Structure 1
Amino acid sequence: MAQSKEMTSGPSLPLILNFTFPLLLGNLLQQTYSLVDAAIVGKFLGINALASVGASTSVVFLILGFCNGCCGGFGIPVAQKFGARDYVTMRRYVSVSLKLAAVMSVAVAIVTSLLCGFILRSMRTPENIFEGAYLYLLITFIGVPCTFFYNLLSSIIRALGDSKTPFWFLLFSTILNIVLDLFCILTLGWGVAGAAIATVFSQGLSALLCYIYMYRKFDILKTEPADRRFRSDLARQLLYIGVPMGLQFSITAIGSIMLQSANNALGTACVAAFTAAMRIKMFVMCPLDSLGMAMATYSGQNYGAGKPDRIWMGIKSATLMMTVYVIAIGALMWGLAEKFALLFISPDETEIIDDTALFLHINTSFFFLLGMLSILRYTIQGAGYTRLAMFSGVSEMVARVLVSLIAVPLWGFWGVCFGDPTAWLFANLFLIPAFIYVYRRLQRIVVKEGRVVANS
């Protein structure tokens, strides 16, 4: 039987660190999907194919970000009920969330698949890479249910304090993705479409393995017929928490789409540099994302247990860990960014390598802002204030739109490089006072008979 784990007692730093580490490994593996796709495509199919894969990165983030945000939100009531030891309601939340996921993921897949061409033309995708970008985007959108269910099931398992199990399934899936990438691209000759097919199939397998394991190994999730009924009141609560989290990612992505559209207009070379740099950046920011995800579960459980003071302890511990990492990765990127660029780009493409390194130098120099953003946003979400956290996404969107409309036309690729750091700054200017507001409310939580009754 798999073991669930409470984080409502004991020193916060080792609890968060131990919970974060498997999350980090899992996130690194998920980013390995993107790294492998881009590296194989760039090395074996060329710069135009690499640009095709990256031309719609921000659109993929918009759609998959919405799905993943909803999944994270669906896990918050599960974590809260687990912390409150209300296991019956917890199981009912799990059952309803799976039904919602089935409907939502299929609807998103259908709508987005029909809009692929319109999306790419709206983003001013260069004609010489349009066909490849269309195929990659279409297959990715068709596979949305695979991604949705993997992230939902992983979120539920993490809500029970188990961050290790999803990692093992993802490890197997990542290895499979690498093998399928090589097979589909080199043996079958499917080009960028083969890279997308390999990724979708691998994530679908991860979702299936998580589902089988979850219900076979977690006795706490074994349901009665009454638990499996669709309950509209629980569905509303899940949507009330999950949809704002999804919209937060989507709103953030709107700014990213504007920024990427401005970058696309700079030409294929800038698109290729942006693609390579983003793949590397997404990989090295995994520890910050993982730390934030750990704080969502940690704060959710302690909110459910009526222990707001432990949430503040967790913030301090997470900030210490984040600061150490930010210093280390900043030094590494300033020394080796060009070497990392060679994973995707041939040595003779010196201009693209220089632009990739420039993007990484600027972005990692501002990683402390990103780290604070992750910690504060996920903590607020874990306490159930997802609509408030959503507005930080609005701040990011506004910043990226301003950069794309003003800085990129004036300074070209330099302006693109400052898009994300500007967005992180704007988000923190909102999140810091927002957290102070939330924490003061949490301190007034009323606890009766071991369960959270209300906050005012």
Structure 2
Amino acid sequence: MMKGDLTQGPVMKTMLLFAVPMILGNLLQQCYNVADTLIVGRFLGPDALAAVGSAFTLMTFLTSILLGLCMGSSAVFSIRFGQKDFDGLKESIFTSFLLIAVISILLNLLAFWSTDLILVFLRVPEEIRGMMREYLIVIFCGIMAVFLYNYFSCLLRAIGNSVTPLLFLAVSAVLNIALDLWFVLGLHRGVAGAAEATVISQYVSGIGIAVYSWFSCPWLRIGKEHMRVRRSCLKEIAGFSVLTCVQQSVMNLGILMVQGLVNSFGTTVMAAFAVAVKIDSFAYMPVQDFGNAFSSFIAQNFGAGRKDRIQTGFKGAVLVSFLFCLAISAIIWIFARPLMLLFVSERETAIIAEGMRYLHIEGAFYCGIGCLFLLYGLYRALGKPGMSVVLTGISLGTRVLLAYVLSSIPAVGVVGIWWSVPIGWFLADAVGLGYFIRYRRRLL
């Protein structure tokens, strides 16, 4: 059995051993902004918390564009690895790196150019607009680092190495927290200091994992014969990458649109949402990463023609995801208040109450998002990334539409925004599962 080969060995054991480092890695990645939020909320006050929280939603959207491109390419890498087509793998690596690097540069330039327009679009209150702009200008400097880390981590995961990205993130997360404390408390750099700490840490992980990949995986190094952009290869990479990017970015664009609606309810609701979203992200992040690990498992076995392992893996993944979501829902429901108190002072009773209301609604329905992440990974791995886009459109379209409609009813208000989310999840689940059941033979 080749190291990183997911087409051999016990199905669930192989999948779980591959998934656990991915889960731990992305939990650490969340520490970047959560450290900012916690330190800013505790030491700089609710206005700074609202500014950094809104910026987090924006950066999640921008990161999702790059992550989607990298994840789409990763599916191609996994299929080539499963087929043992190493020349095809190297050609795909060269083509995808050029494509995503160019897009990253353009995205970075666009972000700097449109900063003020973004603040208007998000309906950021005047009293925190300057603070949020200061934070964004610094945080945008880390976009290329985000590209480097996500590209090489997706490449390593595609060939079955999920441990190395975890190690680089562990070092980077610890560095981020240490720099946060130093810049904010020691140097009194304010929100700009929190952003500077994040950017420096991002470059440590991004450059570090790129250097590691070059020296530790010589068999992946590109030769002159692979430095070409064939139309068929570019079409395949673009097909997977662009559609996965659309799926990821549409998902987060919907959240960004809801952020603007949330901001219209004032600073208290903004701050509550900023904290609750962090807790929410931590809660379902493991099942999101499990869905990505599941996707790599399916893609390698799809490339190898192992239909039996795909079917066994799908059944096992659904069970594991369901049980985890039930457990995490119970934890979030019970500990909603203590979790909110990690980020805000107990004197901020209105922020705590609104955040708890959000968590009690969202936290009860994590099974819906768990199933949806598995469906995203399944269709991407089976060469149908367009179906993931459809499911995202259903989920987020429902969320945005219902959020605006329900919140406009005086008797419902902001609670309508919170309820729109699980409704969108379950509607997309119904469509995705129905499609798979009906066309399973054709898909496999």
- Structure 2: state its 5+ residue gaps: none
Give the whole-Å Cα distance in 1 for the aligned partners of 2:351 and 2:212. 44
Pairwise CA distance, 1:112: 1.7
For 1:391 and 1:285, how far apart are their aligned partners in 2?
21
Q: Which amino acid aligns with 2:20?
A: F
Q: Deviations over 1:242-292 (max 9, x none)?
A: 011111122222321222111111110000000000011111111111110
Instruction: Write out aligned runs for 1:219-230 (5 A).
Output: 219-230=218-229
Once residues 5 and 438 of structure 1 are traced to their aligned partners in structure 2, the CA distance between those partners, rounded to angstroms, is 30
Secondary structure at 1:347 match in 2 = coil
CA distance in 1, matches of 2:194, 2:172: 14
| C-alpha distance in 2 between matches for 1:82 and 1:207 | 23
Which residue matches 2:299?
300
Offset, 1:118: 0.8
Q: CA separation in 2, counterparts of 1:434 and 1:188?
A: 56
Query: How far is 1:23 from its partner?
Result: 0.4
Q: Give the deviation of 1:232 after TM superposition.
A: 4.1
Cα distance in 2 for partners of 1:117, 1:126 equals 13
CA contact (8 A) 1:13 1:314 kept: yes
Q: Can you list the C-alpha shifts for 1:57-76, whole angstroms capped at 9, x where unaligned?
A: 43323221111111100111
Q: Output the amino acid matched with 2:82.
A: G
Q: Does the CA-based 8 Å contact 2:33-2:56 persist in structure 1?
A: no
- Look up the match of 2:84: 85
Residue type of the alignment partner of 2:163: K
Asked whether the equivalents of residues 262 and 414 of structure 2 are also in contact (C-alpha less than 8 Å), the reply is yes
Alpha-carbon distance between aligned partners in 2 of 1:397 and 1:359, rounded to the nearest angstrom: 17
**How much does 1:430 deviate?**
2.5
Mark the CA change 1:239 to 1:191 in structure 2 (over 3 Å): closer, same or farther.
same
Q: Which secondary structure state, in structure 1, belongs to the residue aligned with residue 383 of structure 2?
A: coil
Corresponding position of 2:28: 29
Alignment RMSD (CA, Å): 1.5
Is the CA contact (8 Å cut-off) linking 2:404 and 2:417 kept in structure 1? no
**CA distance in structure 1 between the partners assigned to 2:350 and 2:398 by the alignment:** 27
Correspondence list, 1:82-231, <5 A: 82-231=81-230
Q: Secondary structure at the match of 1:10?
A: coil
Question: For 2:345, what is the secondary structure of its paired residue?
Answer: coil
Name the CA distance, whole Å, in 2 between partners of 1:159 and 1:200. 26
**1:417 equivalent in alignment to 2:418:** yes
Helix, strand or coil at the partner of 1:9? coil
Distance 1:171 1:438, change over 3 A: farther
1:47 matches 2:46: yes
Alignment correspondent of 1:453:
none
2 CA distance for matches of 1:251 and 1:327?
Answer: 27
Q: 1:150 deviation in Å?
A: 0.6
TM-score of the pair, normalised by structure 2: 0.96
Residues in 1 aligned to 2:133 and 2:211: alpha-carbon distance in whole angstroms: 34
SS of 1:61's equivalent?
A: helix
| Contact 2:12 2:316 survives alignment (8 Å) | yes
Query: What SS is found at the alignment partner of 1:418?
Result: helix
| Match status 1:427 vs 2:428 | yes
Residue 144 of structure 1 and its aligned partner are, at CA, apart by 1.3
Q: If the length of structure 1 is used for normalisation, what is the TM-score?
A: 0.93
For residues 254-333 of structure 1, the aligned pairs below 5 Å read 254-333=253-332
Letter in 2 for 1:430: V
1:346 deviation in Å?
0.4
Relative to structure 1, the CA distance from residue 141 to residue 396 in structure 2 (aligned partners, 3 Å threshold; closer, same or farther) is: farther
Identical positions, percent = 34
Q: Which residue of 2 aligns with 1:340?
A: 339
Task: Report deviation, 1:189.
Answer: 2.0
Which amino acid in 2 is paired with 1:413?
V
- Give the CA deviation at 1:387: 1.5
Check whether the contact 1:81–1:87 (CA below 8 A) recurs between aligned residues.
yes
Measured against aligned partners, the alpha-carbon deviations of 1:152-193 in whole angstroms (never above 9, x if no partner) come to 110000000110011001100111111111122122222112
Following superposition, the deviation at residue 358 of structure 1 comes to 1.4
Q: Which residue type is aligned with residue 15 of structure 2?
A: I
Judge conservation of contact 1:302–1:311 (CA < 8 Å) in 2: yes
Q: How far is the alpha carbon of 1:437 from its aligned partner?
A: 5.2
Stretch moving more, 280-289 or 53-62: 53-62
Higher mean alpha-carbon deviation, 91-100 vs 101-110, is at 91-100
Relative to structure 1, the CA distance from residue 139 to residue 236 in structure 2 (aligned partners, 3 Å threshold; closer, same or farther) is: farther
1:391: Cα distance to partner? 1.1
Say if 2:322 and 2:371, in contact at 8 Å, map to a contact too: no
Structure 1 position 438, deviation (Å): 5.5
Name stretches of at least 5 consecutive residues in structure 1 with no aligned partner. 444-456
Residue 379 of structure 2 is matched in structure 1 by 380
For residue 423 of structure 2, what is the amino acid of its counterpart? T
1:389-427 CA-partner distances (Å, limit 9, x unpaired):
111111122112212221112222211221321221232
